A and B are shown apart, each in its own frame.
Chain A
Amino acid sequence: MKEYILLFRHENVTGKVSPEQIQQWMKQQMEWVNSIAAKNKFVSGTGLLFDDAKVVDHKKLVTNGPFGDIKETLGGFIIVKATSANEAAEFAKGAPILQGEGNTVEVRQIVTH
């Protein structure tokens, strides 16, 4: 069994979202992760904080945030077990963030040996 990382790229979420909306997202994300875990194919995952994000360039210059001109940014990832990239992509299709237009999930194989 191979391992794949599913990278979430979506718009930056700010604090102006209602508590009930956040809870709704939470519920959907949990259901999706649990559906993968139920098949024993979930390895790990996390969200990535926007606060105090830094970008370091080749001149070792440190700037705040990876955002710049790009609205879309890396918001988190999960790692799943799958026999092929296609199976991993099937898992990705269920990702709640894909309800947002312009959001994407990138599927990449992790080198395990």
Chain B
Amino acid sequence: MNDSDIIPHLFKTEYSKMVSVLAKSFGLEYIETAEDIVSETFLLALDSWPYNGVPQNPAAWLYTVAKNKLKNHLSRGNTFNKIASAQLIHKDQFSEINIDFSDKNVSDSQLQMLFAVCHPSISTEAQICLALRILCGLGLNEIADAFLSNKETIHKRLQRAKEKLYSEKIKMEMPDDTQITQRLSTVLQTIYLLFNEGYYSESNNSIVRKEFCVEALNLGYLLLADPLTNNHATNALLSLMCFHASRLDARLSANGTIVLYDDQDRSLWDTAFIEKGFYYLQQSSKWEITSSYYIEASVAYWHTVDNSNPNKWPSILKLYDILLLTNNSPVVALNRVWAFSKVHGNVSAIEEAQKLDLRTNHFYFILLAALYKPTDVSKTIEYLTRALRFSKTETEKEMIRQQISKLNQ
């Protein structure tokens, strides 16, 4: 009896690898066949390993079984058979199925799958779903949980996304040199959205939330491993995500509400992630270009620095000034005013804020409330009440209500 433990997340990791390799071998249009073969392989392991022990090399065991499962599929004589047989079986060695599970082909296939899934013709929402299912090996329940949706909705969304893969005839291949920058930027954007989906998720299940962030980081590492995609923007995004990830534990209270930056217990910040964030920030500065990921990562870096450092807020303000030139969004503008208040004081910051006049944005009122808080309690409550009217989620509403009740005490 071999009592060795199974490698944590082995099946989840292998799911992505095996589905990618199989789909690359016989085409994305048979992705569901690939998924079935891999699931059947895992169920066979479930029928064997508990009684016979975990094999010495679990991945190799899974690959061998998957090849045999594929043979069974081929012998069933459907359309898949006709098309796949021609591609996979050498005519001179009829029984030899040619599936390459070498490390190189596994990582190449995963990278190509990432580019296929993040194809511009697929909606962003569907890209994230596909990435979570195919490349992160998450189940429908887990995806539905994080999106506060149900299994059926997620299933339909995945089906539509897969149909798009077929109808657009998307191939498993790396984009050519002329397209790589553009395509990579879509991939990075999807990864960042996936990360934010976890970071800002309203789901009560904090494990699921963290998992999304970890999966986004893993997809980032996949890009770093290939010289073609290891560039300034990829490193900058990794840096940004690592800095954010370092605060994952600190920004959630025991009862699941959000803890604001100023109120966070700094001992809960994950220093390993901060160090990684700093490392990737340095890596990305090797390229003599800049990007919004780089500036945002630099802001995130300064946020890890203690408030007593006199350079902190002036540096953050300068970075927001730059960011505003390329990304004039309400979020950036509001964050800039916050940094402005730290450098020039609340009175002039209130003037800056009022110039923005974002009358339906609850963050605008939360910011004004924060700026009035040290001097004018009634104005603070007034703005918080207005923020409450425009806030969209229950978590936010709860947070605002708590602030109001504290002030009324």
Known: A33-B50, A42-B1. A18 touches B44 (CB 8 A): no
**Contact pick for A15, options B3, B43, B140, CB 8 Å:** B43
Closest chain A residue to B1, Cβ basis = A37
Q: What's the nearest-Cβ distance from chain A to residue B78, in Å?
A: 15
Whether the Cβ atoms of A45 and B51 lie closer than 8 Å is: yes
Question: Which of A46-54, A63-71, A99-107 interfaces with chain B?
Answer: A46-54
- Residues of B near A33 (CB, < 8 A) are 50-51
Closest to A18 in B: B139
Q: Which A residues lie within 8 Å of B51 (CB)?
A: 33, 44-47, 78
Contact between A19 and B11, CB atoms less than 8 A apart: yes
Cβ of B197 under 8 Å from chain A: no
Q: Separation in Å of the A74 CB from the closest CB of chain B? A: 12
Q: A76 to B15: give the CA distance in the assembly, Å.
A: 24
Q: Complex Cα distance A37/B142, Å?
A: 34
Q: Report Cα–Cα, A18/B16, bound state, in Å.
A: 12
Q: Is B12 an interface residue (CB 8 A)?
A: yes
Interface residues of A in 68-86 (CB under 8 A from B): 76, 78
Residues A47 and B48 in contact, CB atoms below 8 Å apart = yes
Question: A66 to chain B: closest CB distance in Å?
Answer: 16
Q: Which of A13, A18, A42, A45 contacts B43 (CB 8 A)?
A: A13
Which of B1, B36, B72 has the largest number of chain A CB atoms within 10 A? Answer: B1
Q: How far does the alpha carbon of A21 sit from the alpha carbon of B12 in the complex, in Å?
A: 9
Whether B47 pairs with A23 at a CB distance below 8 angstroms is: no
Contact of A29 among B40, B50, B141 (CB under 8 A): B50
A23 touches B39 (CB 8 A): no
Beta-carbon contacts under 8 Å, A1-38 to B: 13, 15-23, 25-27, 29-30, 32-34, 37
Task: Give the CA-CA distance A47 to B50 in the complex, in Å.
Answer: 9
Structural contact, A15 and B39, CB atoms closer than 8 A? yes
Interface size on B, residues (CB 8 A): 31
**Judging by beta carbons under 8 Å apart, are A20 and B142 in contact?**
yes
Contacts of A37 in B (CB 8 A): 1, 3
A51 to chain B, nearest CB (A): 7
Q: Looking across the interface, which residue of chain A has its beta carbon closest to that of B39?
A: A15
A32 → chain B, closest Cβ, in Å?
8
Task: Pick from A20, A25, A34, A42: contact of B46, CB below 8 A.
Answer: A25
Find chain B residues with CB under 8 A from A29 CB: 46, 50
Q: B1 contacts A21, CB within 8 Å? A: no
With a CB–CB cut-off of 8 A, which chain B residues contact A18? 12, 137-142
State the CA gap A25–B42 with chains docked (Å).
Answer: 11
Assess the B142–A34 pair: CB atoms within 8 A.
no
Interface residues of B in 8-51 (CB under 8 A from A): 9-12, 14-15, 35-36, 39-40, 42-51
Q: Is the CB of A30 within 8 A of B137?
A: no
| Contact in complex: A76, B12 (CB < 8 Å) | no
Sample of 15 further A-B pairs with CB below 8 A, known A23-B42, A30-B6, A49-B47: A18-B12, A18-B137, A19-B12, A19-B14, A20-B9, A20-B142, A22-B42, A26-B45, A26-B49, A29-B50, A47-B46, A47-B47, A48-B47, A51-B40, A76-B47
- Chain B residues in contact with chain A, CB under 8 A? 1, 3, 6, 9-12, 14-15, 35-36, 39-40, 42-51, 54, 72, 137-142
Minimum-distance CB pairs A-B, first 5: A18-B139, A47-B47, A15-B39, A19-B11, A45-B51
CB<8 Å pairs between A and B, sample of 14: A15-B39, A17-B139, A18-B138, A18-B139, A18-B140, A18-B141, A19-B139, A21-B139, A26-B49, A27-B6, A29-B46, A46-B47, A49-B47, A78-B51
